[in-house]
A = this chain, B = another copy of it.
Amino acid sequence: MVGNKLTGADLKHVTIQDAFWGKYIDLVDEVILPFQWDLINDRVEGAEKSYCIRNFRIAAGQETGEHKGMVFQDTDAAKWLEAVACSLNKKRNESLERAADEAIDLIAAAQCEDGYLNTYYTITGNKRWSDLFEGHELYTAGHMIEAAVAYFEATGKRKFLDVMCKFADHLCLVFGPEEGKIHGYPGHPEVELALVKLYRVTENRNYLWLADYFVRTRGERPCYFLNEDCIRNGNYIFPEFKDFDLDYNQSHMLLKEQETAEGHCVRAVYLYSAMADLAYEYQDGALTSQCETLWENIVNKRMYITGSIGSAAYGERFTADYDLPNDTNYSESCATVGLAMFSNRMFHLTRDGKYMDVVEKALYNTLLAGIAMDGTHFFYVNPLEVVPEVAKKNPTYRHIKTIRQLWFGVACCPPNIARTLASLGNYIYASDESTIYVNLFIRSRMECQFSGIGISVSQECNFPENGTVTLSVSPEKPGSQFTLAVRIPSYCKGAVLKINGKEETGTLEKGYLYLKRIWEMDDTVVVELNVPFRYVRSNPRVRHNIGKVSLMKGPVVYCLEEADNGKYLSGAVIDTSVEPQEEYDHQLLRGTLCARLQGSRIDYEKAGDSLYGEEKPVYKKSELKAIPYFCWNNRGEGEMTVWMREKE
Contact = CB atoms under 8 A, between A and B. Distances in A.
Contacts of A319: 390, 393-396
B315 A536 contact: no
Contacts of A315: 395
A467 interface: no
A540 B607 contact: yes
Interface stretch (A142-150, A305-313, A588-596): A305-313
A611 B539 contact: yes
A300 B604 CA distance: 16
Interface in A629-648: 645, 647-648
A325 B396 contact: yes
A389 B320 contact: yes
A312 B396 contact: yes
A484 interface: no
A537 interface: yes
B645 A648 contact: no
Contacts of A607: 539-541
A246 to B, nearest CB: 15
A303 interface: yes
Interface string A600-626: 001010011111111111000000000
Contacts of A538: 611-612
A320 B607 CA distance: 18
Given A320-B390, A396-B314, A614 B539 contact: no
A556 to B, nearest CB: 14
A543 interface: yes
A31 interface: no
A159 interface: no
A8 interface: no
Contacts of A602: 540, 546
Contacts of A536: 612-614
A317 interface: yes
A299 B398 contact: no
A394 B570 contact: no
Interface string A530-544: 000011111111110
Contacts of A12: none
A566 interface: no
Interface in A96-135: none
Given A300-B610, A607-B540, A611-B303, A320 B616 contact: no
A414 B278 CA distance: 56
A604 B616 CA distance: 29
Contacts of A647: 648
A328 interface: yes
A69 interface: no
Give the one of A325, A602, A607 with max B CB within 10 A: A325
Give the one of A325, A543, A609, A610 with max B CB within 10 A: A543
A346 B183 CA distance: 67
A536 to B, nearest CB: 5
Contacts of A328: 328, 396
A478 interface: no
Contacts of A323: 390, 393-394
B394 A311 contact: yes
A387 B325 contact: no
Contact of A313 (B320, B390, B396): B396
A401 interface: no
A259 to B, nearest CB: 15
Nearest to A302: B611
B312 A387 contact: no
A301 interface: yes
B396 A614 contact: no
Interface in A513-546: 534-543, 546
A535 B610 CA distance: 15
Nearest to A394: B319
B604 A540 contact: yes
A300 B609 contact: yes
A394 B609 CA distance: 35
Interface in A157-216: none
A315 B83 CA distance: 41
A570 B319 CA distance: 19
B613 A395 contact: no
Contacts of A608: 539
A536 B615 CA distance: 8
Contacts of A299: 611
A614 B300 contact: no
A55 to B, nearest CB: 25
Contacts of A314: 395-396, 398
A543 B300 CA distance: 28
B540 A610 contact: no
A568 interface: yes
B394 A537 contact: no
A387 B604 contact: no
A392 to B, nearest CB: 8
A396 B547 CA distance: 23
Contact of A534 (B311, B320, B604, B614): B614
A537 B396 contact: no
Give the one of A325, A389, A539 with max B CB within 10 A: A539
A571 interface: yes
Given A312-B396, A395-B312, A610 B539 contact: yes
Give the one of A319, A322, A395, A612 with max B CB within 10 A: A612
The 8 A-B residue pairs whose C-beta atoms are closest, nearest first, are A319-B394, A314-B395, A543-B570, A320-B393, A540-B617, A648-B648, A540-B602, A323-B390
10 contacts: A303-B611, A314-B395, A314-B398, A320-B393, A537-B613, A539-B612, A540-B602, A540-B604, A546-B617, A547-B645
Given A323-B390, A540-B607, 18 more contacts: A300-B611, A311-B396, A315-B395, A317-B395, A319-B390, A319-B396, A322-B611, A323-B394, A536-B614, A537-B612, A537-B615, A537-B617, A539-B608, A539-B613, A540-B568, A540-B617, A541-B607, A546-B602
